Amino acid sequence: REGGDVTIVGVSTMVRAALGAAESLAEDHGIEAEVIDVMSLSPLDADAIIASVERTGRLAIVHEAHAPCGIGAEIIARVSESAFGALKAPPRRITPPFAPSPFAPVLEKAYLPDAARIVDEIRALIA
């Protein structure tokens, strides 16, 4: 999905939530988000992410792993090394809380980032 206000990088199952958030951001808030689906962690297509951030100036990464030492940290490091001057705001990682992952589906649903949480985080990033 193309957009000019923010780059959202989705990893694995979080791509669907990112796309839902992007639609909601466009329809309800006038924010056009570009969503990038990370198909491979290694090799990582950092060039596509960097090119998008150079266009949008903002970056959010959504993944199921905890924030510390996750793929989001690596993506932010690569963007910072190559396109730091393009950033209009600090990059943001949208991840589950730093706590054990629940087993029960009802708890997992509350644990993982969803489209509504992504929308809130992106609106705060752009504000």
- In angstroms and rounded to an integer, the radius of gyration of the C-alpha atoms of the chain is 14
β-partners of residue 36 are 9
- Decide the pairing of beta strands 92-94 and 6-11: unpaired
Residue with tokens 């056009």: 32
**CA 95 distance to own-chain centroid:** 9
Task: Give pLDDT tens digits for 11-61.
Answer: 999 999 999 999 999 999 999 999 999 999 999 999 999 999 999 999 999
Domains annotated for the chain, with CATH where assigned, are 6-126 (3.40.50.920)
pTM (2 decimals)?
Answer: 0.93
Alpha helices per DSSP H over the chain? 14-29, 46-56, 71-83, 105-111, 115-126
Tens of pLDDT, residue by residue over 47-56, are 999 999 999 9
What distances in angstroms separate CA 92 from CA 10, 99, 102, 107, one per listed residue?
12, 19, 24, 24
Note the pLDDT tens digit of each residue in 54-87: 999 999 999 999 999 899 999 999 999 999 999 9
